[in-house]
Amino acid sequence: MSSKPGNVIGIDLGGTRIKAGLVGAQGEIHLMENYLTCLELGEKKVLKRIAKIIKQLIIISNKNWIEPKMVGLGAPGVIDREKGIVHHSPNFPGWKEVPLARFITEEVGLPVYVDKDANVVTYGEKWVGAGQDLRNFISLTLGTGVGSGLILNGRPWYGSQGSGPEFGHITLEPRGERCGCGNRGCLETLASATYLIKKAQRGLAKKIPTQLSKGVSNSSNPLSAKILFETAQKGDPFCISLFADLGRYLGIALANIVHTLNIEGVVLGGGVSNAYTIFLPYLEKEFKKRLTMSSAESVSIRISFLGEKSGVLGAAKMAMDRNKR
C-alpha cells in the first residue's frame, strides 16, 4: 500500500451533511462521499456515525491500495484545536466540551486533527481553490450558518484564542432577529440558509404573493434555499427580494471587514453562494457604496469553484500541515 503522507481522510462536519473524502498530497480527491448528519440523533450517535463513515472510507481505500495515515476534521463551533475539543456550537444543540479528536482516534485508530469548519474551508481555498493567488483574504461559507476564515500574509490567522475570526457574528441589526449564538442581528441571521428559509416561511404565512407552492412547506418537500433560488430565477419578486436583502447585508459586512483589515480578496462559498447570480449585483452595489476609505476595485470578490469539496480538501491540508510539526 502507498505510505505517502498525503493520503489523508478529510471530514467536513456540517449541520445538515457530513462530507468525507480521501485526499492526496497535491489536492487530488481519490474518493468522496456525502452523508446526512442527523443531528436529531444526539451527540453520541453523531460521533459514532462519523467514526463509521471514516471506517468505511478506510476499508474502501485499502481495497484500492491507498492507505490513509491520518484524519483532518472540520467541525462547527468554538474549537480547541490542540486538544481537539468542541467547546460549544450554536448550530449543534447540546454539544458541550465534546472530545472529538480523542473519540474518533479511539474508534478508528488514526491520528485526528480538528479545526473549525470555516477555517478548513479557507485552507482549501488557499491550497487549490479561488484564493490560491491571494495573500490576504477572507472566506465566508454561506450555509446552515455563516462560517468565516482569514488568511493573512499567506497563512491562516487564528487570533489570540486560537479559533480564528467569527465574521458571521458581526452585529448588523442591533434589534434584529435572535441568533443561535444568543446575540441579535448577526450577519448569520441575514445571510444564511437557515434564516433565509425562516423569512420565506414568514412571507408565506402573511400571504405575500409568490410563485412558491404551498406544498413546499410539508415534510416530503420542505422549503430550502435551493427552491428559493430556483423560484427567484423564474422572476418571482418575493424570492428575488430575499436574495437582494441578503446581498445588501453581505455588502455592508464586507465593507466593514475591508475597512478593518485592508484585505485584497473575498471568497464566498457554501450552498447559498450558488445563488450568486441573484444576490451578487446587490452585494457589489452596497459594497461600493459603503467602502468609503478604500477602493472597491482593489478588492476581488470571488465565488468558490471548489463547491462542497473545499471543506474536505482543507481539512486534509490542515492535517498534513499539523502532522509536519
Question: Domains in the chain, please, with CATH?
Answer: 8-123+310-323 (3.30.420.40), 131-303 (3.30.420.40)
Short-list 74, 62, 175, CA closest to 117:
74
Contact yes or no for 7/68 (Cβ under 8 A): yes
Q: What 3-state DSSP class applies to 301?
A: strand
Task: Please give the pLDDT value at position 214.
Answer: 60
Segments in the chain below pLDDT 70: 1-6, 214-221
Strand-pair category, 78-80 with 85-88: antiparallel
Q: What angle separates helix 225-233 from helix 237-261, to the nearest 10 degrees?
A: 110
Q: Where are the alpha helices (DSSP H) in 109-173?
A: 117-128
SS3 314: helix
Helix (H, G, I), strand (E, B) or coil at 284: helix
pTM: 0.89
List the 96-98 sheet strands across, edge first. Answer: 78-80, 85-88, 96-98
CA distances from 224 to 91, 104, 192, 194, 229 (A): 17, 32, 11, 9, 9
List, in order, residues 6 or more apart from 227 with CB less than 8 Å away: 212, 216
Is 74 in contact with 309 (CB distance < 8 Å)?
A: no
- Alpha carbon distance 266, 317 (integer Å): 20
The confidence score (pLDDT) of residue 180 equals: 86
Whether the Cβ atoms of residue 279 and residue 199 lie closer than 8 Å to each other: no
- Position 163 scores a pLDDT of 83
State CA 159 to chain mean position distance.
19
Predicted confidence at residue 306, as pLDDT, reads: 96
For residue 271, the tally of other CB atoms under 10 A from its CB is 21
Cβ–Cβ under 8 Å, residues 158 and 81? yes
pLDDT computed for residue 1 by the predictor: 39
**Residue 301, pLDDT score:** 98
How much is the pLDDT for 76?
A: 87
User: Which pLDDT does position 217 carry in this prediction?
Assistant: 53
Write down the pLDDT at residue 220.
62
* Triad 182, 42, 90: Cα angle to 5°: 15
The SS3 call for residue 126 is helix
- Size (the chain), residues: 325
Q: What's the CA gap between 228 and 212, in Å, rounded?
A: 8
How far apart CA 223 and CA 220 sit, in angstroms, is 10
